[in-house]
Structure 1
Amino acid sequence: MSQTSSPYEIHDDRFRHLIVPSSGLEELYSDCRWAEGPVWFSDLQCLIWSDIPNQRMLRWVKDGGVSVFRTPSNFTNGNTRDRQGRLVSCEHGGRRVTRTEIDGSITVLADRYEGKRLNSPNDVVVHSDGSVWFTDPTYGIKSDYEGFRAEPEQATRNVYRLDPQTGEIDAVVTDFGQPNGLAFSPDEKILYVADSSSSHDPSAPRHIRAFDVVDSRQLKNSRVFCDIDNGLADGFRVDVDGNVWTSAGDGVHCFGPDGKLLGKILLPQTAANLTFGGPRRNQLFITATKSLYAIFLATTGAGVS
């Protein structure tokens, strides 16, 4: 199903160079309860994403439709790939970060910090040095809808770094209300992290913060990168020019490296997450409430997939 009217809202002329005006918004699938965590597999030319409450992960292949990739999924939320091409996932149900090996077996990368269970890992990204960075809000233990209701064991809701050599886990930021999506700048000198705590507290921040990455191990110089004017930032990605494309209440918002809103891709549903994919990584796949959408852009995603 294609949208006939233009989905674009332009706030800055720079946005005109990032979009393809003739490219329509396509709805590829529409039978989810809460679609999340899209990840592109370039070698297989397919997209995998999570349908959290339905306890499944789905696979989309061009001209091949949609099939079930994994069920039960242990309430998997965010997904990414490591530098060896393996799937790395955040499981609400197991309160852990896992890696799917080439043979299909699952390795637990992290499920505790300082001897206590994690809250409910939400989103994850892998640095070029192999370190795994993930957020740990409490959404998956707030109710039995997206996980299993439980009291948090961690005193704070943190951003963590998992060392690829030692397996040691460090809490690199501990002052978030609810840390959510995260992504590195193209040169990996900046880590962006969303705070989505306004989901349950209207007075809480609706912004993405930026941190300087020091020696690929520490985060310094916290500052607000951008504020969201509709809904909140959940998952997001960065393109090759350093523009940040984030989910929001009315669709996808694009911010320049300077934090200025460049434009929006308007959707009929609340966006949860997104990723770049397609043969040339110029197709933006968007998970939005019940549906998976896609739209071609005039830019490409940073990183590898």
Structure 2
Amino acid sequence: MKAHFGRIAVAVLCLAGVAIAAPAAEAGTGAITGIGGKCLDVPAGTNGTRVQLWSCTGGTAQQWTVRSDGTITAASGTCLDVAGGSRADGAAVQVYDCNGTGAQQWRPQNSTLVNTASGKCLDATGVSSADGTQLQQWTCTGGTNQRWTLPGGTTVPANGFCPDGPFGPPLPSEHLTAANIRDGYNFLEGPTWDKATQSLLLTNMHDGTGEDNVEPSDILRYTPATGTFTTVIPDAGSNGLALSRDGKSVLAATHDQRTVSAYDLATGQRTTVAAGYQGRRFNSPNDLTQGPDGTVYFTDPDFQRADRPDEMGGKTSVFRVRDGVVSLIDDTIREPNGIELSPDGTTLYVGGNATGRIYRYPVNADGSTGPRADFASLGGTDGGTVDCAGNVYQVTYGDGNVHVYSPSGQSLGTISAGPNATNAAFGGPDGKTLYITSGTPSGGGDSGDFALYSIQLNVPGWPY
């Protein structure tokens, strides 16, 4: 969070429409195994052929590709499909020509494969592992007949980036203090951990410039092994960051263009994820997170709108974008800021910076959200993160603290950093290092003094 006030706004052109969202991860090609170690098997690739369990043979009938668009394809090129698009328990699971419908969309969740249209789990009938056991969809129970292992021996992740639990208490003590890694930056925000390179990406924002007083920013990389900070994406225009689920790009709330963007980590190429809502520019997207199905959720306060005109009618909102379509979640929160998903992707948390509340929303199988409820009372909320046990870490700007809550909303303790904390993310080789951005904002001329802090905790957590 960072606010600026100043000069008279000048007109800009309205940017309408959106581009496609960043893709979810691709698991590769091979066998999918379930109860009793049996393989998903399809005797033929023709439309309507039932999928079954069978002893693993390594044959083409047992070769499946888990794709980034949510589909699972057989060697024949047909898609894993719920017959007739049914949402009923017991509906047959078959193969069918790929058609892009919800009947062919599958989401890894809690070690299961959930059909996103029905919200039901891929299920071996009769809790059987016998050869020839047919597959169906059924209400998710967590039973062994609904647990699957993806190609290459990777268990369908229960919590995305998280290892299996159980987990103990997250904090070594009730009140902790993080250590300063390096200071001297103007305004740090949006840390996100890049596991592939064992490094932390974060935004350094500068004072506003130009006719509209818009704040330029760079994406930095901190590498703990060497202690070095480097600039990896100059002039990124970013605030909050989130690593994509496939680890190939970094999603960014980009206030420079009043958009949500994705930067390819290999090339630095920028792609627009969301450019506006109903033909109007956003205020200044601030923080964001991505669900297991690729849905991106983000907040749109007006802190970095600068001197550009308001196209949102005075509203500050929470949005989601999926398959290139931007949908409104809530436009009644004044200055929504930090936004986080529970590890299983079923609860969305939003901090109301100007309302003194943290809110939660249930997330449906299709990525939409249910009715809002209060989660905790906390003023001045900024960024935040979650750990693998579902505990919520909410940063408050005014006191430089990270407030930790259990999934039920019980206060577990605080972690203090610099005077004005902005965001937090987990990282490190074991995922248990909490990184915090905090410091003193600029009084002009890029005179801010922000630092990156860290502290080792007991439970691994989310990398943004």
Q: TM-score range by the shorter chain?
A: 0.7 to 0.9
Please list the CA deviations of residues 43-99 of structure 1 after superposition, one character each: whole Å capped at 9, or x if unmatched. Answer: 10110111122622221101241122222222x100001122111101111101111
- Which of 344, 349, 372 matches 1:222? 372
Give 1:41 deviation, angstroms: 0.2
CA contact (8 A) 1:29 1:66 kept: no
Whether 2:171 is the aligned partner of 1:19: answer: yes
> Do the aligned residues in 2 keep the contact of 1:207 with 1:225 (CA within 8 Å)?
yes
Among 430, 440, 443, which residue is 1:280 paired with? 430
Q: Are residues 1:251 and 2:401 paired?
A: yes
The answer to whether the 8 Å contact 2:343/2:386 transfers is yes
CA distance in 2 between partners of 1:283 and 1:216 (Å): 32
Residue in 2 aligned with 1:106?
270
**Residue in 1 that maps onto 2:381:** 233
- Distance change in 2, residues 1:112/1:181 (3 Å): same
What are the Cα deviations for residues 211-262 of structure 1, in whole angstroms up to 9, with x where unaligned?
111223322221110112xx52111111111110111123111011111211
Q: C-alpha distance in 1, partners of 2:177/2:364? A: 41
Deviation of the 1:24 alpha carbon? 6.7
- Is 2:331 aligned against 1:174? yes
Alignment of 1:74-153 (within 5 A): 74=237, 76-85=238-247, 86-101=249-264, 102-141=266-305, 143=306, 149-153=307-311
Superposed CA deviations along residues 105-136 of structure 1, whole A, max 9, x for unmatched, are 11111111111111111111111001111111
Query: Which residue number corresponds to residue 159 of structure 1?
Result: 318
**2:460 aligns with one of 284, 291, 300:** 300
Over 3 Å counting, the alpha-carbon distance change for 1:190 and 1:214 in structure 2 is same
Q: Aligned pair 1:30/2:187, yes or no?
A: no
> 8 Å contact 1:19–1:296 — kept in the other structure?
no
Q: Please say if residues 177 and 415 of structure 2, whose CA atoms lie closer than 8 Å, have aligned partners that are also in contact.
A: no
Give the residue type in structure 1 aligned to 2:253. Answer: C
Quick one: distance in 2 between partners of 1:192 and 1:25? 24
Structure 2 residue identity aligned to 1:232? G
Task: Report the structure, 1 or 2, having the larger strand content.
Answer: 1
Higher relative contact order (CA 8 A, sep 6+): 1
With over 3 angstroms needed to count, the CA separation of the structure-2 counterparts of 1:257 and 1:223, relative to structure 1, is same
Query: Within 2, Cα distance between the matches of 1:26 and 1:110?
Result: 36
Give the aligned partner of residue 212 of structure 1: 362
Question: What code does the residue aligned with 1:264 have?
Answer: T
The TM-score, its normalising length taken from structure 2, stands at: 0.56
After TM superposition, the score normalised by the length of structure 1 is: 0.84
Q: Give 2:229's aligned amino acid.
A: V
Counterpart of 2:421 in structure 1 is 271
Question: 2:236, 2:262 → 1: CA distance?
Answer: 13
Residue of structure 1 in register with 2:109 after alignment? none
2:204 equivalent in structure 1: 51
Counterpart contact for 1:173–1:219, Cα < 8 Å: no
What do residues 168-194 of structure 1 show as CA deviations (whole Å, max 9, x unaligned)?
A: 111121211111111111221110001
Could you tell me how far apart the structure 2 residues matched to 1:119 and 1:152 are?
A: 7
SS of 2:304's equivalent in the other structure is helix
The partner residue of 1:72 within 199, 220, 235 is: 235
For 2:257, the aligned partner's letter is G
Equivalent residues of 2:178, 2:416 under 8 A apart: no
Distance in 2 separating the partners of 1:124 and 1:17 = 27
Taking the aligned partners of 1:216 and 1:286, their CA distance within structure 2 comes to 32
**Structure with larger Rg:** 2
